[in-house]
Amino acid sequence: MTSADALLERVRAALAGEPRLEEKPAFGGRMFMVRGKMCVSVRETRMMFRIDPAVHETVLPRDGCRTMAMKGRSYRGYVQVDAAQLRRRPEFDFWMGLALDYSRTMASPPAKKRRRSSTSKPPRESAE
């Protein structure tokens, strides 16, 4: 079992029972969505956590933590943590707790409305 597989199993166990849990490939690894919102992602060498932007600056000094950046842009409320820092249960639980706490405060996205295809025919009128 690789270290990424071990992390995936720990994340799956931590998220078991969360509403609307969805796992899918993203960001070069596996992403977990809770209540329709991105919560965490797992890669071989790091995990990304979506956290409350209000606590972002206070957690950055923790070992192995940095702000998520893509294409030169930093994303407040998203942090990456080195996998090596997550081996110990207290550290893993701390980060998972932050991500889950924040996901519980966010409103779920509205259900998507079913739209009729533009190629579908309108209903037939009855002939009387």
Q: Judge whether residue 126 has pLDDT over 80.
A: no
User: CA of 22: how far to CAs of 17, 19, 32, 54, 95, in Å?
Assistant: 11, 9, 6, 26, 19
The answer to whether domain 3-105 has CATH 3.90.1150.30 is yes
Q: What pLDDT is recorded for position 11?
A: 95
Render pLDDT for 13-61 as a digit per residue (tens, 0 to 9). Answer: 999 989 899 999 987 889 999 999 999 999 989 999 999 999 999 999 9
Q: pLDDT at residue 116 above 90?
A: no
**Where are the domains positioned within the chain?**
3-105
What are the φ and ψ backbone dihedral angles of 124, each rounded to 5 degrees? -70, 140
Q: For the segment 74-106, what is each residue's pLDDT rounded down to a tens digit?
A: 999 999 999 999 999 999 999 999 999 999 888
> Which pLDDT value is given to residue 120?
55
pLDDT at 108 over 70: no
Is residue 84 within 8 A of residue 98, CB to CB? The reply is: no
Alpha-carbon distance of 103 to 89, in angstroms, equals 21
Q: How far apart are CA 107 and CA 109, in angstroms?
A: 6
